[in-house]
A and B are shown apart, each in its own frame.
Chain A
Amino acid sequence: MITFLELLVNGISIGAVYALIALGFVVIFKATEVVNFAHASLLLAGGYVVARLHPHVGFWLALLIGVAAAALIGALVEFLIIRRSKASSHGVLAIVTIGVDIVLTTELTRQIGAEVLAMGDPWESGVLHIGGVTIAETRIVALVTATVLIAAFLLAFKFTGWGVAMRATAEDPETAALMGVRLGRVSLSAWAVAGALAAVAALFLCVFPTPGLDRSSSLAALKAFPAAILGGLDSTTGALVGGLIVGVTEALMTGYQDDLSFLGRGIGDVAPFLVMIVILLLRPAGLFGTKELARV
């Protein structure tokens, strides 16, 4: 039971981190209808900046710069590439982001090389004991931070002018433009926000109990894709639920790996994708996605 609780809390915490990534992904999709496959590399870039800078400027400043850098890269991708492409279909734009991802990831993994970079976070390997359940401090911080960020984001989405512009664009870009919403700004800010969220997520994906940022960190980020799609690509609620489902499934499958040995080693890494397939079989638009209705 204790093990189960520990795994559950860990799962929820890592799930909240996935939710952060998935949220950025969904925001980009809502604002520009582009499926951003470069998301994992934005995350890697943010994490890399933090890991490289913290010995020089201290952790908090490094984190701030990392978040800003990832936001800037996201904005640059939008400004220099997505905005300028004459591609007719959003499918082709998705492939462009794959190109961006290849360039960024190759260069970053080359820079990282065989190293494992520490993030220099103040929580290190501290653990908390709550009624017999042992949880890493980093996991608690991750959960709290993710909750706060997500809440702030949803509030902004609901109540600020920026949020209204964003939702109007998602609803109907043409009408939104006629109402005076500046589409370029909306999509630029969507990419920047997504980059920033990804950088924060990068921090928590690479702190204790994971050894640090290494070249496979971007693969961990790929698990946020199933999170986004199983919740429904155009639903912020879906991103949250999807993140939690993926996190909890992964934690439980990894934790009970020994009992599941007939499934082979490392089943925890595959579990998110299997869950995604099952859910897509039942609901092709995801749990909370808008069903596209077209009667012919």
Chain B
Amino acid sequence: MSRIVVWAAVLAAFVAVPFYLEGFWLQTGLFAMSAAVGAIGINLLTGATGQLSMGHAFFLALGAYAYVYFAAEPTRTLGGLGLPTPLAAVLAVLLAGAAGGLFSPIAGRLKGAYLGIATLALIFGGQHVLFNAEPVTGGFNGRAVPPLEVFGFVFADTPELVVLDVPFGVLERLWFLGGLALLGSALFARGVLRGRPGRAMNTIRDHEIAAGVMGVPVTRYRAAVFVLSSMYGGLAGVLLALVFQRTVPDYFGILLSLDYLAMIVIGGLGSVGGAVIGAAFVSLLPQLLTRYSDALPLVAPPGSGGVSPAEAARILYGAAIVAVVLFLPGGLLGLLRSLRQRLPGLRLSPLPTPSPETRSSHVR
């Protein structure tokens, strides 16, 4: 019963957000949602199966650029297929999965940190292609992203739409789409983790040989999880492209991959909730520091020679990774769980999955 109440409150808060918060926070929230989708994917791979991947940014890039290429009308210099945009989005996710599949001879056979180094090749190779395949990617300057259009409803600023006296621009409209995508991704991943595949993945992580003895096809599982995580990456990329409205190759570098690893370690390895909390932490931190840089000690506005907010955020969450592994092996999610156990009044249901909605209400 209490669970239903909590979820209803969460839903209400989520729906209320676009009516009260300004564009800056909506955009930040959307970035966090897209990051959460991607982080769930890499948490399935790294957290639950123990396979390190430094190549997650590649699959985000693939999703983003594939969506643009499939959806855009061809111009004089840039190619495009001009497909209906929802179809383009689905194809982009499938393409990311297919690319993950092509990597499976390596993803299946290498384990742990070995795979991490091998996936560096994806990042550097991917960046090379993004900069050089100009007819598809637009090269250094990137490409504009065509807005998504579902059954005549366009996710863009025009045509104008006013709901309850609040103008609904692209961010407000995408807010609900992002929420749905995240909810779907989270539920699916939770299903995977709680079912047979999840048990098998955890066994592979904890003891590969034991997993094999119990009849888990280790190689096939590793490859399959890699494909699944690539598809999550692709979906996150599509969302990101829609929010950014422009794709630029520089963004999808190794730093982005490291961000994703930071998210799952800080949030909590191997669970959906951990990925979501970590994604919120890592994507909100730089924005918060930027926003309140005047009020904070040690953080200087960008360009003034001191520690810029972006740098401060990186140093903070780099240190957070170390601190979490040293002192909080379960990540922030583990911390929340142990707090809940110590405070009996707060005991709700066992381990409900935290959702993005609760995060947005913190922001307020």
Contact = CB atoms under 8 A, between A and B. Distances in A.
Contacts of A284: 106, 109-110
A265 B118 contact: no
A253 to B, nearest CB: 12
Contacts of A274: 121, 125
Interface in B73-129: 105-106, 109-110, 112-114, 116-118, 120-121, 124-125, 128-129
B131 interface: yes
Q: Interface majority SS on B: helix, strand, loop or mixed?
A: helix
Interface in A215-245: 222, 225-226, 228-229, 233
B132 A273 contact: no
A220 to B, nearest CB: 12
B113 A294 contact: no
A99 B325 contact: yes
A110 B307 contact: yes
Interface residues of A, number: 46
Contacts of A225: 117, 120
B212 interface: yes
B36 to A, nearest CB: 19
Nearest to B209: A294
Given A264-B132, A277-B106, A294-B208, A91 B52 contact: yes
B50 A84 contact: no
B121 A226 contact: yes
Contacts of B208: 294
A158 interface: no
A276 B118 contact: yes
Residue with the greatest number of chain A CB neighbours at <10 A, chosen from B113, B120, B265, B322: B113
A98 B258 contact: yes
Given A106-B314, A264-B128, A95 B121 contact: no
Interface in B259-311: 261-262, 265, 269, 307-308, 311
Interface of A: 35, 37, 81, 84-87, 89-96, 98-103, 106-107, 110, 222, 225-226, 228-229, 233, 263-267, 269-270, 273-274, 276-277, 280-281, 284, 294, 296
Interface of B: 46, 50, 52, 105-106, 109-110, 112-114, 116-118, 120-121, 124-125, 128-129, 131-133, 205, 208-209, 212-213, 254, 258, 261-262, 265, 269, 307-308, 311, 314-315, 317-322, 325-326, 329
25 contacts: A35-B112, A37-B116, A92-B265, A94-B113, A95-B261, A98-B258, A98-B321, A99-B262, A99-B318, A99-B325, A101-B258, A102-B258, A102-B315, A102-B318, A103-B318, A107-B315, A222-B120, A270-B124, A270-B125, A270-B128, A276-B117, A277-B106, A280-B118, A284-B109, A294-B208
Given A90-B112, A99-B318, A274-B121, 13 more contacts: A35-B114, A91-B112, A94-B116, A95-B46, A96-B326, A102-B318, A106-B314, A226-B117, A229-B117, A273-B120, A274-B125, A277-B118, A281-B105
